[in-house]
């Protein structure tokens, strides 16, 4: 039942991310619902299921909306790294999740930007890059309290 | 809220490292289709994306629907679709007329219908989340005769080209993507160059020699030298054209004719 609920939630997140959220873009920036979800599960699950879910979420995001497997890599690393923080953190999980979202959102934007620039030779303005770092982090932080109860429900047996 | 205390456990990153290496290998060696797995998954997911799109349109269109009869709404949708197809053809009439005039003057008429007469409508069912990856997913694929490099247009102008085809869906690389390049020409002076994507609302026309005649406000259309796109499809309007004295080429900025953030329905030129 728990696996089914997580699967259902993940499917809804992926459809929202690729179909509906792009319609709410602000100067091209949309929240990364998948990244926030990956951080949630990295904090709330053990390492193996958390890593597997992160990899699966990133892979499906790539299948749906990216011509290569950049999200698979970013989300897998985020899941594993966030899980490591969780093992060393003392305090309530909500603070940890918000902190990790604030940390990993700019890092993932940075990783995406650097990969696209240096490997795929894409150009973009530095100001837009900085704007996206800030805007996407704010967007994702807004999502944390909205998603928290939903993710908690998916983890109930 | 649950509190955690630090605890020791054997850290194993082998799973994460394996996944990352696999993803890198698959991307690097261009096994992007993963022996059909990507196409298969896309085929499975497409109906859900389509359903979500339809539901979303229903939700956002609900207030207007309340004030109209059901039959009127469906008739309106059909007429709107037909109107879009006709408008896409009509958008090139100016270019056709100019070309016709030129060709008549040259007494060497070889022209033909701009889109070869066949436009296939497709719905946008997904978009890349990142502003740096400008692509969309449409609900027509190999089953509808879509092939890679197929031009995609709307009534305002050129949208992009198909880069990946699954049985029931296809991925379209938008004109605004940095990987996109299209041969474009100034509709007035006929000087041509390569239109490259830059950002969601900016394109650049490159390699136009400094001796060319390109000015702000000029319309840029697909050039006849393009092997992929029919000539004369509107691309955008020149918003800035500068050149330093020593430069060999113009620096030409274009405002796209199409609003890429509002694409709902597109047409494939087949």
Identify the CATH number of the domain in which residue A52 sits: 1.10.1760.20
* B133 contacts A66? CB cut-off 8 A: yes
CA dist B26 and B7 (Å) reads 36
Q: Is the dihedral of CA A142, A148, A150, A155 positive or negative?
A: positive
Residue with tokens 């497409």: B46
CB–CB of A28 and B200 under 8 A? yes
Q: Are B45 and A78 in contact (CB under 8 A)?
A: no
**Secondary structure (DSSP) of chain B:** --EE---------HHHHHHHHHHHHHHHTT-TTGGGHHHHHHHHHHHHHHHHHHHHHHHHHHHHHHTS-HHHHHHHHHHHHHHHHHHHHHTTHHHHHHHHHHHHHHT------TTTT-EEEEEEEEE-SSTTS-EEEES--GGGT--TT-EEEETTEEEEEEEEE-SS-EEEEETTSTT-EEEEEETTT--EEEEEEEETTEEEEE--BTTS---TT-EEEE-TT-SSS-TT-EEEEEEEEE--TT-SB-EEEEEESS-GGG--EEEEE-
Report whether pLDDT(B115) > 90: no
At A99 the pLDDT is 93
Q: Which of B47-61, B156-170, B254-268 shows the lowest per-residue confidence on average (mean pLDDT)?
A: B47-61
Q: What is the pLDDT of residue B107?
A: 39
What average pLDDT does this structure show over B219-234? 88
**By residue range, what is the domain housing residue A77?**
2-155
- Per-residue 3-state assignment (H helix, E strand, C coil) for chain A: CHHHHHHHHHHHHHHHHHHHHHHHCECCECCCHHHHHHHHHHHHCCHHHHHHHHHHHHHHHHHHHCCCCHHHHHHHHHHHHHHHHHHHCCEEHHHHHHHHHHHHHHHHHHHHHHHHHHCCCCCCCHHHHHHHHHHHHHHHHHHHHHHHHHHHHHHCC
Bridge partners (DSSP) listed for residue B153:
B158, B267
Is B53's CB within 8 Å of A19's CB? yes
B204 vs B206: CA distance, rounded Å: 6
Residue B254 has pLDDT above 90, yes or no: yes
- A115-135 pLDDT per residue, tens: 888 877 777 778 888 998 999
Q: Do A18 and B137 touch (CB under 8 A)?
A: yes
Residue A140 near residue A36, CB atoms below 8 Å: yes
| Structure confidence at residue A38 (pLDDT) | 94
Q: What is the pTM of this model?
A: 0.70
Task: State phi, psi for B153 to the nearest 5 degrees.
Answer: -135, 165
Asked whether residue B66 carries a pLDDT value surpassing 70, the answer given is no
Is residue A42 within 8 A of residue A100, CB to CB? The reply is: yes
Overall residue count recorded for chain A in this entry: 157
Residue A124, min C-alpha distance to chain B (Å): 7
- What is the Cα–Cα distance from A42 to A151, expressed in whole angstroms? 12
CA A21 to chain centre: 14
> What pLDDT, on a 0 to 100 scale, did the predictor assign at position B185?
92
Which residue from A113, A105, A107, A110 is spatially nearest to A141, judged by alpha carbons?
A: A105
Q: Say yes or no: A156 contacts chain B, CB-CB below 8 A.
A: no
Burial B231-247 (b: 16+ CB within 10 A, else e): bbbbbbbbeebebeeee
Distance from CA of B197 to the nearest CA of A (A): 9
Interface of A with B in 62-101 (CB under 8 A): 63-70, 72-73, 76-77, 79-80, 84, 86-94, 96
Specify the pLDDT at position B31. 63
B38:A63 CB<8 A: yes
> Residue B80 pLDDT > 50, yes or no?
yes
pLDDT of residue A74: 92
| Residue A60 CA, distance from chain mean position | 13
pLDDT digits (tens, 9 = 90+) for B141-165: 888 889 899 999 988 899 999 988 8
Tell me whether B24 touches chain A (CB under 8 Å): yes
For chain B, give the percent of residues with pLDDT over 70: 77
| Domain count across chain A | 1
- Residue-wise pLDDT for B257-267, tens only, equals 998 887 888 99
Which of these, B167, B170, B165, B197, lies nearest to B184 by C-alpha position? Answer: B197
Tokens read off for A136: 């996407």
Write down the pLDDT at residue B54: 80
CB pairs under 8 A between A and B: 152
The rounded distance, in Å, linking the Cα atoms of B221 and B257 is 10
Interface test with A, best of B129, B135, B160, B200 (most A CBs within 10 A): B129
What ipTM does the predicted assembly reach? 0.78
Q: How far is the alpha carbon of B208 from chain A, nearest alpha carbon, in Å?
A: 20
- Give B125→chain A minimum CA distance, Å: 6
Q: Per residue of chain A (157 residues), what is the pLDDT tens digit?
A: 788 888 889 888 988 888 888 877 777 788 999 999 999 999 998 888 999 999 999 998 888 777 778 889 999 999 999 998 887 888 788 889 999 999 999 999 999 888 888 877 777 778 888 998 999 999 999 999 999 888 888 887 6
Cα→Cα distances B139→A116, B36, B46, B130, B270, Å: 27, 18, 7, 20, 15
Tell me: pLDDT of B103 over 60.
no
Give B116's Cβ-side CA count (13 Å radius).
Answer: 12
| Closest by CA position to A42, among listed A4, A5, A1, A89 | A89
- From residue A119, alpha-carbon distances to A70, A133, A143, B194 in Å are 11, 20, 31, 22
pLDDT of residue B7: 45
């Amino acid at each position: 039942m728990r696996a089914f609920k997580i699967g259902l939630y993940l499917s809804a997140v992926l459809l929202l991310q690729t179909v509906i959220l792009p319609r709410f873009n602000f100067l091209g920036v949309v929240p990364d619902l998948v990244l926030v979800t990956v951080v949630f599960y990295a904090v709330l699950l053990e390492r193996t299921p958390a890593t597997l879910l992160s990899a699966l979420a990133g892979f499906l995001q790539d299948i749906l909306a990216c011509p290569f497997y950049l999200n698979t890599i970013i989300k897998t690393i985020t899941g594993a790294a966030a899980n490591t923080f969780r093992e060393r953190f003392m305090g309530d999980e909500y603070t940890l999740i918000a902190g990790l979202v604030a940390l990993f959102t700019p890092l993932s934007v940075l990783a995406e930007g650097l990969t696209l620039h240096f490997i795929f030779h894409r150009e973009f303005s530095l100001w837009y890059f900085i704007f996206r770092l800030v805007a996407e982090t704010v967007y994702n932080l807004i999502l944390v309290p909205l998603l928290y109860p939903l993710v908690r429900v998916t983890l109930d047996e | 809220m649950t509190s955690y205390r630090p605890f020791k456990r054997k850290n194993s990153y082998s799973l994460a490292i394996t996944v990352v290496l696999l993803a890198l290998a698959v991307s690097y060696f261009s096994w992007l289709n993963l022996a059909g797995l990507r196409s298969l998954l896309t085929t499975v997911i497409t109906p859900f994306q389509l359903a979500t799109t339809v539901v979303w349109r229903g939700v956002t269109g609900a207030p207007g629907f309340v004030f109209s009869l059901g039959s009127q709404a469906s008739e309106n949708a059909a007429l709107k679709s037909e109107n879009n197809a006709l408008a896409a053809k009509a958008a090139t009439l100016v270019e056709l007329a100019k070309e016709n005039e030129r060709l008549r003057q040259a007494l060497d008429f070889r022209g033909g219908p701009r889109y070869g007469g066949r436009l296939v409508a497709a719905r946008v069912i997904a978009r890349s989340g990142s502003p740096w990856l400008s692509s969309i997913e449409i609900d027509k694929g190999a089953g509808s005769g879509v092939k890679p490099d197929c031009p995609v247009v709307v009534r305002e102008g050129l949208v992009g080209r198909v880069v990946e085809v699954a049985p029931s869906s296809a991925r379209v690389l938008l004109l605004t993507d940095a990987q996109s390049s299209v041969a474009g020409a100034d509709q007035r002076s006929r000087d041509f160059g390569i239109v490259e994507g830059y950002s969601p609302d900016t394109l650049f026309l490159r390699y136009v020699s400094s001796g060319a005649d390109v000015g702000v406000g000029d319309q840029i259309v697909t050039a006849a030298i393009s092997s992929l796109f029919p000539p004369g499809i509107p691309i955008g309007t020149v918003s800035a054209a500068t050149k330093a004295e020593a430069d060999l080429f113009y620096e030409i900025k274009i405002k796209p004719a199409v609003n890429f953030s509002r694409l709902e329905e597109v047409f494939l030129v087949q």
